[in-house]
């Protein structure tokens, strides 16, 4: 599934809807260059998942991972500064990514493999305010979610 947004607000609306739909643990990979809108989606998704508005969602640039209790616990990763596979183990990626929570991963390009079920969101910056967002499912659970997203898109 692929669509375009022409403002941060439109991209946020997608992120929030995605967060609202999550009923089970899932890993979501967010691909896109610097400034594409990965963190915009992460913040909106967190709200949709029930992280209260008074809790700021900050980028885990140096900590690599932030944890937010919510309807389903959210583990927000930003792997941009990941040094090596060992560091990935240190921050507990495998424990959180395949746990009872939602793992949301910016810069999944840093991962050595993707041999786990996940929803992949790829953001392309077309111009200052336009983004093309492609969503694909890898696994049965993510596939069901993709169906929901497709229906939602038709109403937009």
Ligand X SMILES: Nc1ncnc2c1ncn2[C@@H]1O[C@H](COP(=O)(O)OP(=O)(O)O)[C@@H](O)[C@H]1O
Residues that bind ligand X (CB under 6 A): 5-8, 10-11, 32, 34-40, 106, 129-131
Strands 26-31 and 2-5: unpaired
Output the smallest distance, CB 89 to Mg ion, in A. Answer: 23
**Closer to ligand X at the Cβ: 8 or 90?**
8
Give residue number: closest CB to Mg ion.
39
- In this chain, which of 5, 12, 39, 66 binds Mg ion, going by CB under 5 A? 39
* Three-class SS state of 28: strand
- In this chain, which of 5, 14, 29, 38 binds Mg ion, going by CB under 5 A? 38
Strands 65-68 and 102-106: unpaired
Q: Provide the token pair at 18.
A: 């995605």
Packed helices 8-21 and 140-154: angle between N→C axes, nearest 10 degrees: 130
**Closer to Mg ion at the Cβ: 59 or 99?**
59
- Strand positions, DSSP E, 69-117: 74-78, 102-106
**Closer to ligand X at the Cβ: 32 or 142?**
32
Output the smallest distance, CB 95 to Mg ion, in A. Answer: 23
Question: In b/e form, how buried is each residue of 64-101, taking b as 16+ CB within 10 angstroms?
Answer: bbbebebebbbbbbbbbebeeeeebeebebeebbeeeb
Output the smallest distance, CB 25 to Mg ion, in A. Answer: 22
12: contact with Mg ion by CB under 5 A: no
The residue ranges that bind Mg ion (CB under 5 A) are: 38-39, 59, 106
């Amino acid at each position: 599934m692929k669509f375009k947004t022409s403002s941060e607000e439109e991209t946020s609306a997608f992120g929030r809807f995605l967060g609202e739909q999550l009923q089970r643990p899932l890993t979501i990979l967010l691909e896109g260059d610097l400034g594409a809108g990965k963190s915009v989606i992460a913040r909106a998704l967190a709200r949709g998942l029930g992280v209260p508005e008074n809790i700021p969602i900050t980028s885990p640039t140096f900590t690599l991972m932030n944890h937010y209790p919510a309807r389903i616990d959210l583990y927000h990763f930003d792997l941009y500064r990941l040094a090596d596979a060992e560091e990935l183990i240190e921050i507990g990626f495998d424990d959180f990514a395949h746990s009872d929570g939602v793992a949301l991963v910016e810069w999944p390009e840093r991962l050595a493999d993707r041999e786990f079920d996940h929803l992949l969101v790829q953001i392309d910056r077309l111009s200052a305010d336009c983004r093309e967002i492609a969503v694909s499912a890898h696994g049965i659970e993510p596939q069901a979610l993709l169906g929901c997203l497709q229906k939602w898109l038709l109403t937009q």
